[in-house]
């Protein structure tokens, strides 16, 4: 039995422990990790490593077949906690037991293509994820949520600052009661206030309809049209208090021509948006993403 088998099985297909670690790079980390896992009989199905040359920070993700371990998960976790103290100041690690499905709340507005696409994926069991709720600042997408048996909450957003703040508080309340692993902004057209970005740091996932950093902010397709670009794009990133400037998880582009108006771009761009969001969310849910500074490691 190997302790590194990249058979690339999805966490949906079998129970795994997914161990992720980020720490200052020092001697023998890999040796200690692989010995520890091997001692417990762990069958590694996927292993990735990366050291950032600038910061000297080391990152790894290892997926272990749960049934190959000779100890219960909690014990394994406790033992790892002990050796992890040797990984230096600031080390961050996590062991996710895929038997625990992740929970998401999805925030939407009027455009339904991303929501429709995500819920379709959930129904066909693409993700190790349940959707606890959909929250919309309009009623339009209730039907999509309810078709998939997901509760829909309508939280209207008034124009005035005080009313808007109250709405955000209501959204936060609705979100937090589910303690979600992912807060998905699926074409939610409201800008999250800084305190919510902070509260959901590393969990709030946005899809922006441009190839960032081009065309940040409002109406990116109109900006793209005005600039006369020959490709348009979509970017999935963690939301931070710096608008459209958070760590990027995934991006893609599609080709356009001089014939395409902003309305055409909107239509064509929807496919890029939903595909890029779906990929980025999958990476997040499967613990494939680690953030350092404003950059991400994505072990895909």
Binding to a second copy (CB under 8 A) within 169-208 occurs at: none
- Tell me how long the chain is: 300
Q: Pick out residues in 131-160 that bind a second copy (CB under 8 A).
A: 147
**Nearest CA among 80, 71, 72, 96 for reference residue 16:** 96
Minimal distance, residue 176 CB to a second copy, in Å: 28
In this structure, what are the phi and psi dihedrals at residue 18, rounded to the nearest 5 degrees?
Answer: -110, 110
In this structure, what are the phi and psi dihedrals at residue 226, rounded to the nearest 5 degrees?
Answer: -60, -40
Is residue 113 a contact partner of residue 38, using CB atoms and an 8 Å limit? no
Cα distance between residue 85 and residue 89, in whole Å: 8
**Nearest CA among 90, 86, 142, 155 for reference residue 115:** 142
Among 120, 151, 193, 202, binds a second copy (CB under 8 A): 120
How far from 251 is each of 66, 173, 240, 255, 291, CA to CA, in Å? 32, 31, 17, 14, 16
Pick the piece of the chain touching a second copy (CB under 8 A) from 19-27, 79-87, 155-163, 164-172.
19-27
Give the nearer residue to a second copy in terms of CB position, either 181 or 250: 250
Pick the piece of the chain touching a second copy (CB under 8 A) from 73-81, 161-169, 182-190, 221-229.
221-229
Question: Is residue 13 part of the contact set for a second copy (CB under 8 A)?
Answer: yes
Give the nearer residue to a second copy in terms of CB position, either 47 or 107: 47
Minimal distance, residue 299 CB to a second copy, in Å: 9
Question: Is residue 1 part of the contact set for a second copy (CB under 8 A)?
Answer: yes
SS3 293: coil
**Nearest CA among 42, 82, 45, 89 for reference residue 299:** 45
Question: Is residue 228 part of the contact set for a second copy (CB under 8 A)?
Answer: yes
Among 29, 131, 150, 197, binds a second copy (CB under 8 A): 29
Q: Pick out residues in 35-64 that bind a second copy (CB under 8 A).
A: 35, 38, 44, 47, 49-53, 58, 60
Among 82, 85, 90, 124, binds a second copy (CB under 8 A): 124
Give the nearer residue to a second copy in terms of CB position, either 218 or 263: 263
Give the nearer residue to a second copy in terms of CB position, either 175 or 184: 184
Is residue 241 a contact partner of residue 194, using CB atoms and an 8 Å limit? yes
Cα distance between residue 21 and residue 83, in whole Å: 12
Quick check: is 245 catalytic? no
Give the nearer residue to a second copy in terms of CB position, either 16 or 180: 16
Name the token pair of 233. Answer: 């794009």
Q: Pick out residues in 253-272 that bind a second copy (CB under 8 A).
A: 253, 257-261, 263-264, 267, 271
Cα distance between residue 151 and residue 153, in whole Å: 7
Question: Is residue 248 part of the contact set for a second copy (CB under 8 A)?
Answer: yes
Q: Which of 54, 140, 195, 244 is catalytic?
A: 244
How far from 109 is each of 90, 118, 187, CA to CA, in Å? 38, 15, 6
Among 81, 213, 217, 218, binds a second copy (CB under 8 A): 213
Minimal distance, residue 3 CB to a second copy, in Å: 5
Q: Pick out residues in 80-99 that bind a second copy (CB under 8 A).
A: none
Cα distance between residue 130 and residue 124, in whole Å: 12
Return the residue matching tokens 């010995």.
35
Residues carrying an active site annotation: 244
């Amino acid at each position: 039995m190997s302790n590194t088998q990249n058979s690339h099985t999805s966490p949906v297909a079998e129970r795994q422990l997914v161990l992720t670690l980020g720490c200052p790079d020092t001697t023998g980390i890999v040796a200690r990790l692989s010995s520890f896992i091997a001692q417990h009989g762990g069958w590694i199905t996927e292993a990735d490593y990366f050291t950032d040359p600038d910061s000297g920070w080391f990152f790894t993700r290892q997926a272990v077949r749960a049934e190959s371990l000779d100890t219960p998960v909690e014990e394994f976790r406790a033992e790892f906690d002990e050796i992890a103290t040797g990984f230096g100041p600031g080390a961050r690690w996590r062991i996710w037991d895929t038997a625990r499905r992740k929970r998401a709340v999805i925030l939407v507005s009027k455009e339904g293509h991303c929501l429709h696409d995500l819920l379709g994926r959930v129904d066909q069991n693409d993700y190790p994820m349940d959707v606890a709720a959909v929250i919309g600042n309009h009623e339009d997408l209730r039907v999509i949520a309810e078709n998939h048996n997901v509760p829909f909450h309508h939280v209207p957003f008034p124009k005035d600052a005080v009313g808007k703040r109250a709405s955000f508080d209501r959204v936060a309340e609705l979100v937090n009661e589910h303690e979600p692993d992912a807060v998905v902004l699926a074409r939610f057209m409201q800008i999250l206030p800084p305190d919510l970005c902070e509260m959901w740091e590393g969990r709030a996932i946005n899809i922006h309809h441009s190839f960032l950093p081009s065309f940040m902010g409002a109406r990116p397709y109109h900006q793209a049209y005005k600039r006369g670009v020959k490709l348009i794009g979509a970017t999935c990133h963690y939301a931070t208090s710096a608008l459209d400037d958070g760590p990027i998880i995934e991006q893609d582009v599609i080709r356009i021509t001089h014939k395409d108006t902003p309305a055409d771009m909107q239509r064509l761009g929807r496919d890029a948006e939903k595909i890029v969001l779906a990929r980025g969310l999958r990476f997040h849910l499967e613990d494939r993403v680690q953030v350092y500074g404003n950059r991400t490691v994505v072990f895909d």
